[in-house]
Amino acid sequence: MSQRKFDEFQGKEVVATTLTNKNGCTAEILNFGGILHSLKVPDKNGKFLDIVIGHNDAQTYFIDGAYHGALIGRYGNRIAEGKITINQKTYQLALNNDGINHLHGGNIGYNRRFWNIDAVSENSITLSLLDKDGEEEYPGTIALTVTYTLTDDNALVLEYRAKSDADTYFNPTNHSYFNLSGYQGGVITDHILQMNADFYTPTDDDLIPTGEIKSVTGTPFDFRTGKAIATDLASDDADMKRGNGYDHNMVLGEPNVYKENCCTVTDEKSGIVMQLSTDMPAVQLYIGNFLDGTYTGKDDKPIVKRTGMCLETQYYPDTPHHENFPSCLLKAGEDFYSKTEYRFSIL
């Protein structure tokens, strides 16, 4: 483990902590946004590639609306019209998604906050945050920690723990963009994705779920046997057009049930394979359709469309408005725990 000053922002030091495993893999995490800034794993030739997209400074992480590498909360994904009702009281959240809906926790979500570094070891770091009652208009104070662990079998494990003093909605995730050819490796549309998802949730034009839980059979969203991401990008499917490509909630199963290797991403060029396991009920598949080159990456080159893909483990979007969706209402005094693992190997 090592630490360095990454930047200074808002009068505070941004600290980068590098975790190392016995194989030489490294993961660098910032105390600003809990951001996964770098993740280096070996390719088929033994060369270590940094496979996450990111920026060189905290200011760009702050202003770029793409949430690169960041921890997301209090609620990952969208809430229609920013309205939630808990115990017969309605709360109006920020309309930070085109002025219409609430997205990823609001204007100052977890991605834009400084986290405390509670504990570090050679291969693990625990960050904590006190998300106070009324911040971004959410009810209840949540005390939460997120632990990143880089294991000796080349897995990056994220563990979320939280407790609230009042009933509230809670749906945390991580928004890393992966490119298994390396962050300079071009577009990810030739990556092969296999996903154990029999259903997905269609959306309206504002990417809010309609409430339908639809079979992937006969649609571009069927990744059960594996296919290149590019395979159905030109489809006339209405949901594909709404998302400008894949930007959809894929249903993995029941909450609080660990789904091992439920998603596998393979890059034949580098030979790197990434396997996702999680106890969350769903994952948002997003392939960087709205990255437009406005901001530069770690190589000082513009981050352009589809140069990274996200697999954001989560509850479904807009759960407060759909009784048929698994609920992410966190009751006062209840312990929240969730685990997501990204495991890396070679073809």
- In the numeric block, which tokens belong to residue 337? 């725990």
Contact 288, 305 (CB under 8 A): yes
Please report which helix (H) or strand (E) contains residue 79, including its range: strand 78-79
- In the numeric block, which tokens belong to residue 123? 């291969």
**Sign of the Cα pseudo-torsion (35, 98, 94, 238, in order):** negative
How far apart, in whole angstroms, are the C-alpha atoms of residue 71 and residue 57? 17
Residue located via tokens 């990952």: 76
> What is the pairing mode between strands 48-50 and 168-169?
unpaired
What are the Cα distances from residue 177, in Å, to 50, 117, 341? 11, 23, 15
What are the Cα distances from residue 90, in Å, to 82, 93, 107, 137? 10, 10, 19, 11
- In the numeric block, which tokens belong to residue 21? 């495993």
Q: Which of 97, 255, 64, 262 has its CA nearest to residue 177?
A: 64
Q: Which amino acid is at 206?
A: D
How many of the other CB atoms lie within 10 Å of CB of 336?
16
- In the numeric block, which tokens belong to residue 253? 């199963």
Q: Which residues are catalytic?
A: 175, 312
Alpha helices per DSSP H over the chain? 58-63, 238-242
How far apart, in whole angstroms, are the C-alpha atoms of residue 69 and residue 203? 25
- In the numeric block, which tokens belong to residue 15? 């600290």
HSE-CB of 311 using CA atoms within 13 angstroms? 26
How far apart, in whole angstroms, are the C-alpha atoms of residue 52 and residue 309? 9
What are the Cα distances from residue 77, in Å, to 126, 171, 207, 282? 24, 8, 10, 12
